[in-house]
Amino acid sequence: MKKLLIIPLIFLLTGCWNYRELNQLAITTGIAVDKENDNYKITIMIANSKKSSSSDGSITPSAAVYDGTGQTIYEAFKDTSLSVSKQIYLSHIDVLVLSEEVAKNNLTDVIDFLFRYPQTRNNFYLVLAKDKKASDILKVTTPLETFPSQNLAKNLEITDKLQGFTYTVDFTDFTKSLVSEGINPILPSVTVIGNSEEGNKEENVQQNEPSTYLKLDMLGLFKKDKFVAWANPNQSKGINIINNKIYILGVIIDYQNEKIVTEITEMKTDFKVENNKVKITIDTTGAIQEVNANVDLYNLKTIEEIQNSDVEKIKEYVNDAINLAKDNKTDIFGFGNYVYKNNPKKWNEIKDKWDDEIFPSLEVEIEVNLKLQAKGSINNIVEVRE
Amino acid sequence: MKVTNSEYACLSSFLIRSLFFGPAIYSILHFALQDGWISIIVSFILSFIPLIIYYKLLNCNPNDNIVSLNNKLGLIGKIINTILTAFVIFHASLILWNLTNFIYSQFLFQTPLIVIAIIISFGIFYISIKNLTTIARTGTVFFIISTILYFIAALSLIGKCDLNGLKPIFNSGIMPILKGSFSSLGLNIFPLFIILIIPKNNIKNNDKIISSFFKVYIFRYLCMLSVLVICVAILGIELTNLYQYPEYHILKTINIANFFQRVESVLSVQWIFDAVMSIALCLYYVKESITKTFNLKNKFNLINIICIISILIIANYIFTSNTVAETFYKNIYPFLTSIFFLIIPLIILIIVKVKKT
Amino acid sequence: MDQELDKIINHIKTMNGNSTDINVRYFNIHNQKVAFIFLESVANDDKISNFLGKSLSISVRSKKNLFENLFDSINNTIPNSKVKIIDNYDDIFYHLASGFTCVFVDGYNKAITLETKALLDRSVTEATSEPVLKGPKDCFIENILANMGLIRKRIKDPNLYFEETKVGKRTKTKVVIGYIKDIADEEKVNLLKKKLEKINIDGIIDSNYIKELLTDNQKSFLPRVISTERPDLTAMGLLDGKIAIIVENTPYVLLLPTVFADFFKSPEDYYTKPFNASFTRILRYIAFFIAILVPAFYIAVTTFNMEIVPSSLLISFSIQRESVPFPTIIEVLILVISYEILREADTRKPQIMGASISIVGALILGEAAVSAGVISPIVVIVISISAVSGMGFNDPDITNAIRIWRILFMLAACLFGIVGIVILFIIFITKLNSIEVLGTPYLAPLSPFSLKDFKNSLTRFPQQKIKTRPTYFNKKNINRIGSDK
């Protein structure tokens, strides 16, 4: 009886449908989307697995870049596959770069394909390309990583924790803020320093200081799914503060015309929206990191003054950010979401008017509790004696 | 062919979870939106009604399973048996459709649907030709493996939960919550009727049935509740409603220490186990029912082969498209199960009680 | 049987075709002809001459009827203990072949046999196939009485019963069933005895024949009976409630009934610290599943479900695959088959040719094939992990079973990826669950779940904590520590 079961199996061996060998796949590590005369242009970066010609079989992967155009993203991919000798495989995308023009039109059209295709996973990062075409950004070689897309992704991950004014968005977060009520998405951006033509070549990484490299830049604000504005570094810091995404933030204040840097390490932000008023509460602790002024850190009053200046600075960041959002009539912080969650009936009445009318007219009240706990390894400034 | 009471409880738990990971979550969340968890709690309370009916049917005559009980009622009983058997075949093919659709859309998306269904049917066929003790023991092993995988998944995701995603509470209103409960009852609880194929005397320690059954039942309910809550908390209700299999997409976001990532394929195996075991149980029901009602002998396991082929054919050609399937599961199927698995057992119970007095 | 001496002797000689090892010695005592027959190949000359010297001289002196006197004198004087009276030719030949000497007196149709067996077996030596570092090192030999003695001296309980049957029409091999009466399950013993009676075969050479004949109606690749060379393992099994089957002329003793967890225990676990033993046991379970599943998982992950692999690893895999002309499944199959051939060659070779085959094999498989571009380095690693994990078991039956299941899983993976592995795993577990050895489920204590028995199957708790014998074997006298109920 059991032997009869094996016979139908043999018929199934004729061509396993989903069977693909690894070297038949073009493993895509990064995608860039541009707009070219009303068509979408897609540039993909493939991990090239060709073995180098040395006889001991040393493995050096390298990247290959291809592009294609089409009226929809799907067609553009098909166009790209006409020039690639392998099957495009999208499960290992690290980063998706979008140009400004694409972001200014309906972004949902662009990401719908990636949303629906079962191969793509949802943990890649999205970035905007500032002042350059997205494909240029993808082609810049770096001495630190083999693939530029990996370089970008790792850069995003690290700076997310270190800087405080970039904002790392992965696909789940982006789509969640797109579809949720009362919140609009934000994306980081990246730009090329130097000549982008040169950046494409191997010689760029063979000198000690590459002449062309990538640098993370300002945040981009969206309204629904269209890009509307850039945020400068102070405003970006404010956005991060309100969205509770700060791990480390450096606050620079002027004290007697010199600069003192306080590093904030824990920041917890809470906000409440009631009756057209937003109350933001920020609890932080900080440590003095760099003192360039001639102050006496043993003096309690000095510490208090530094603390107050820090608080003012933080409030300034937050106000900058909120004003920017109000000017562009887009609620990127989720105040509307808060109203929806806690007072759904009221939200139903005002949700159509929220972004345009009510949000710009919200009063903002900020309360900052800062504890300047530490001063670093030394207690006072370095006094140079004769 | 004896079954212990813990094995009995494990077998029943598969029937509860088999339709949960696709249609049930979809219908609950589409009716009740973010109050889905309230729907589940309400359905837990309401589920005592069918459970009491099933328990009384179990106790009617400790030597008979539901099929021989019906046969004793004469011609009406045989007609009822045939109708119930046909509906159980239908239920099994719906579970098979769900599993095939899941595998087709996430794993093997270029393989024809019929081939996926055939390869799953091999596994199901092999289980169903064994006797009841083997099926029960296999059930225990798979229950343990499913539970371990569930705990790994839940513990990895619990750090990302944001309970604010469950607000606003009670926004949907009472009617949608009740509709969600009803679909949860229809898709998850009423199929428990199929476990009545095992007569009471074939269960060892049958005085402890209720306690062991309830332990497993409450545990499974908590699993379902927690899966729903985690899905809505992490993804937000709009995104959860957008995805076809939100639990699978939740598993894609697991990333612990940059090492334990990309594990969704391995952790989703628990659903394949659930579905396969419940279809095997349905097949066992059908086999028993046909042999006892029509007094046939099961030579060369012919009945099993015919049933598996009919389940295959129904599962492949019943729905013309995905949207038709979703509407069917959401709107129509809970009513069908309530007729066949609730009202008919009630009728049987009444007839048996009348006959006894 | 005839009464005249010459006819008897002739009959016996023609029964055996006048074999060269039949020796007959005639006597004439008080004018009565007496003859001894023995088979020189199995009888011990010293003992025979001992008998001839002592007892016959006594009988010569007495005057009564020789036959009855002979019996008394043999009974009272001969030093060895086994004396029987036989009256048919089959039994005579059986005893002659077992090393007995037969005494015939002219005019009587009965024979007296007494044991004068030669020592044709080796002495009790160190176990070769199941070595243990810190424990008793004696092992069974081919003599059934010595084997029984090795067990008897470890369990001095009067409840240790040994019951004997003869199996095999031509070989008439002695088969002894040993069990402890008030621990082992009566039903199982009776079932076993009935099965042994039903065996209808012409020869039993080794205990493996009995193993096959007892379990032939359930076809499975996994072993269902433990066969061991160590008396300490047998004694532990008897105390757990198992039944031992000792077969003549083979040092391997069978232990029934067994469960799957028994193949992962080794006697060494009880001779070292409990924590180390638990660690090693869990490691063995993991090794079993690694050995079966890793090649299949590799094939599934590189051909169907590539999303499981992180990006950098995937790129390195694909670079390695670039240079290989074969599809993955063929590559893995080539390596598995060549590994199996190497292993087979390794076990069959005599010691002298020792190291060369392993070195040649490793060189061929490792360096040369990779450099020639026939296989990729990662496949070599995968197969070596799987092979090494599969070798850590006591019983070669498990290793053979792993071979077959490994290939089956690989085929399932190459057809359908992870889904294929899952379906085959379901079939694997169902198959294991359907095996029942003498009524004990094969996957106990996992399958009829009993948490108490995990103490001695999955891990090895200290002796004080293992309070009961395995509940899936027996129901009475369950307590090991404390008083028996």
> Which pLDDT tens digit goes with each residue over B291-303?
888 888 777 788 8
Q: Can you tell me the distance from the alpha carbon of A363 to that of C189, in angstroms, rounded to the nearest whole number?
A: 89
- Kind of pairing, strands A95-99 and A125-129? parallel
- Judged by DSSP in three states, C4 sits in coil
> Which pLDDT tens digit goes with each residue over A113-134?
888 888 888 888 888 888 888 8
| A12, A29, A89: residue with CB nearest C306 | A89
Closest CA to C328 of C415, C387, C425: C415
Tell me the nearest-neighbour CA distance from B124 into chain C, angstroms.
9
Which residues of C have a CB under 8 Å from any CB of A? 302-304, 306-307, 311, 314-323, 327-328, 371, 414-417
Other residues' Cβ atoms within 10 Å of the Cβ of residue C251: 26
Core vs surface per residue A6-23: b (16+ CB within 10 A) or e: eeeeeeeeeebebbbbbb
**Subunits with 3+ C-beta pairs closer than 8 A to C:** A, B
Angle between helices B25-32 and B174-184 (to 10 degrees): 170
Q: Do C328 and A9 touch (CB under 8 A)?
A: no
Tell me the nearest-neighbour CA distance from A90 into chain B, angstroms.
14
Core vs surface per residue A87-116: b (16+ CB within 10 A) or e: ebbbbbbbbbbbbbebbeeebeebbebbee
Which one of B265, B272, B274, B276 would you mutate to disrupt binding with C, by most C Cβ within 10 Å of its Cβ? B265
Tell me the nearest-neighbour CA distance from C327 into chain B, angstroms.
19
- Judged by DSSP in three states, A1 sits in coil
Backbone angles phi, psi at A110, to 5 degrees: -70, -45
**Subunits with 3+ C-beta pairs closer than 8 A to B:** A, C
Which residues of chain A make contact with B253, given a CB cutoff of 8 A?
122-123, 172
Q: Where are the alpha helices (DSSP H) in C62-185?
A: 66-77, 89-97, 144-152
* Adjacent-strand bridge partners of A282: A269, A368
Q: Can you tell me the distance from the alpha carbon of C5 to that of C107, in angstroms, rounded to the nearest whole number?
A: 7
pLDDT for position C357: 67
The radius of gyration of chain C from alpha carbons, rounded to an integer in Å, stands at: 30
Q: Can you tell me the distance from the alpha carbon of C167 to that of C318, in angstroms, rounded to the nearest whole number?
A: 60
pLDDT for position C354: 60
Give the CB-side neighbour count of residue C356, counting CA atoms within 13 A.
5
Q: Which two tokens stand for residue A351?
A: 């949700």
> Which pLDDT tens digit goes with each residue over B182-202?
988 888 888 888 888 888 888
- Give B5-356's CATH code, choosing from 1.20.120.80, 1.10.10.10, 1.20.1740.10, 2.60.40.2470: 1.20.1740.10
Tell me the nearest-neighbour CA distance from B278 into chain A, angstroms.
22
Asked if residue A152 lies in contact with residue A127, where contact means CB atoms within 8 angstroms, the answer is yes
Burial class (CB in 10 A: 0-12, 13-18, 19+), C327: middle
The radius of gyration of chain B from alpha carbons, rounded to an integer in Å, stands at: 20
Core vs surface per residue B298-332: b (16+ CB within 10 A) or e: eeeeebbeebbebbbebbbeebeeeeebbeebbee
CA distances C328 to A52, B109, B119, C293, C361, Å, are 22, 21, 22, 16, 22
Other residues' Cβ atoms within 10 Å of the Cβ of residue A199: 24
Q: Can you tell me the distance from the alpha carbon of C196 to that of C176, in angstroms, rounded to the nearest whole number?
A: 11
Q: Where are the alpha helices (DSSP H) in A211-299?
A: 233-242
Q: Report the alpha-carbon angle B5-B7-B13, nearest 5.
A: 105
Tell me the nearest-neighbour CA distance from C42 into chain A, angstroms.
49
Asked if residue C106 lies in contact with residue C33, where contact means CB atoms within 8 angstroms, the answer is yes
Asked if residue B230 lies in contact with residue B250, where contact means CB atoms within 8 angstroms, the answer is yes
| C309, C430, C447: residue with CB nearest B126 | C430
Which residues of A have a CB under 8 Å from any CB of C? 9, 12-13, 16, 18-23, 25, 27, 29, 47, 49-51, 57, 59, 61, 89, 91-92, 94, 119, 121, 150
Q: Is the peptide bond before A360 cis (omega within 30 degrees of 0)?
A: no
Core vs surface per residue B239-272: b (16+ CB within 10 A) or e: bbbebbbbbbbbbbbbeeeeeebbbbbbbbbbbb
- Give A232-386's CATH code, choosing from 3.30.360.10, 3.30.300.210, 3.40.30.10, 3.20.20.140: 3.30.300.210
- Judged by DSSP in three states, A215 sits in strand
Q: Do B126 and C308 touch (CB under 8 A)?
A: no
Q: Touching check for B163 and chain A: CB below 8 Å?
A: no
Core vs surface per residue B40-71: b (16+ CB within 10 A) or e: bebbbeebeebeebbeebbebbeebbbbbbbb
Asked if residue B12 lies in contact with residue B160, where contact means CB atoms within 8 angstroms, the answer is no
> Which pLDDT tens digit goes with each residue over A208-249?
777 777 888 788 888 887 888 888 888 888 888 888 877 788
* DSSP assignment letter at C40: T
The one-digit pLDDT tens for each residue of chain C (485 residues) are 677 778 888 888 888 888 888 888 887 766 777 788 888 888 888 877 877 666 666 666 665 555 666 666 556 655 567 778 888 888 888 888 888 888 877 777 777 788 888 777 788 888 777 788 888 888 888 888 889 999 999 999 888 999 988 888 888 888 999 998 888 888 889 988 998 888 888 888 888 888 888 876 667 788 888 888 889 889 988 988 899 999 988 889 999 888 888 888 888 888 888 899 899 999 999 999 999 999 999 999 888 888 888 888 888 888 888 878 888 888 888 888 888 888 887 777 766 666 666 767 776 777 877 888 888 888 888 888 888 888 878 778 888 889 889 999 998 888 888 888 999 999 999 988 888 888 888 888 888 888 888 888 888 888 888 888 888 887 777 777 765 54
Q: Is the peptide bond before B246 cis (omega within 30 degrees of 0)?
A: no
Residue A1 predicted with pLDDT over 50: no
Domain ranges in chain B are 5-356
Q: Touching check for C223 and chain B: CB below 8 Å?
A: no
Q: Which two tokens stand for residue C376?
A: 């990729």
Which residues of chain C make contact with A19, given a CB cutoff of 8 A?
303-304, 414
Q: Do C429 and B144 touch (CB under 8 A)?
A: no
Closest CA to A153 of B252, C313, C311, C316: C311
The residue type at B79: I
pTM of the full structure: 0.89
pLDDT for position A85: 79
Helix, strand, coil distribution of chain B in percent, nearest 5:
80, 0, 15
The residue type at C275: F
Domain ranges in chain A are 23-231, 232-386
Which one of C419, C431, C440, C458 would you mutate to disrupt binding with B, by most B Cβ within 10 Å of its Cβ? C419
Give the DSSP H/E element, type plus range, for residue A98. strand A95-99
Tell me the nearest-neighbour CA distance from A297 into chain B, angstroms.
40
Q: Do C419 and B123 touch (CB under 8 A)?
A: no
